[in-house]
C-alpha cells in the first residue's frame, strides 16, 4: 500500500508543479506584453499566447478535479 501512497504524493507534486509553472509563464508573458518597448507584432502574439495559457490553466483545474473525483470513486469501489 505504501507504493500507492507514494504515487499519490508524486502525482500531487506533479499537479502543483505543473500549475505553478503554467501560472509563472502566464505572469512572465504578461510582464513582457505590458512592457512599453515591446513591439506591436510581438505584443499581439503574446496576448494570444496568454489567452491560450489561461484557457489551459482553467482546463487543467477541471481535469484535476475530475481525476480527484475518479480517485475517490476507485477508492470507494475498492
Q: How confident is the model at residue 7 (pLDDT cuts 50, 70, 90)?
A: low
Cell match 491560450: residue?
52
Residue 70 grid cell: 475518479
Residue 23 · residue 58 · CB < 8 Å: no
pLDDT over 80 (residue 42): yes
Residue 28 grid cell: 512572465
Predicted local distance difference test score (pLDDT) of residue 1: 47
Residue 26 · residue 53 · CB < 8 Å: yes
pLDDT over 70 (residue 3): no
Residue 73 grid cell: 470513486
Taking the C-alpha atoms of residue 31 and residue 22, their distance in angstroms, rounded to an integer, is 14
Taking the C-alpha atoms of residue 65 and residue 70, their distance in angstroms, rounded to an integer, is 9
Amino acid at each position: 500500500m505504501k507504493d500507492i501512497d507514494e504515487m499519490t504524493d508524486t502525482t500531487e507534486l506533479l499537479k502543483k508543479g505543473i500549475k505553478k509553472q503554467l501560472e509563472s509563464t502566464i505572469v512572465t508573458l504578461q510582464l513582457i506584453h505590458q512592457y512599453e518597448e515591446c513591439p506591436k507584432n510581438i505584443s499581439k502574439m503574446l496576448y494570444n499566447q496568454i489567452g491560450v495559457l489561461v484557457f489551459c490553466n482553467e482546463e487543467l483545474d477541471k481535469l484535476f478535479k475530475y481525476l480527484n473525483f475518479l480517485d475517490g470513486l476507485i477508492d470507494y469501489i475498492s
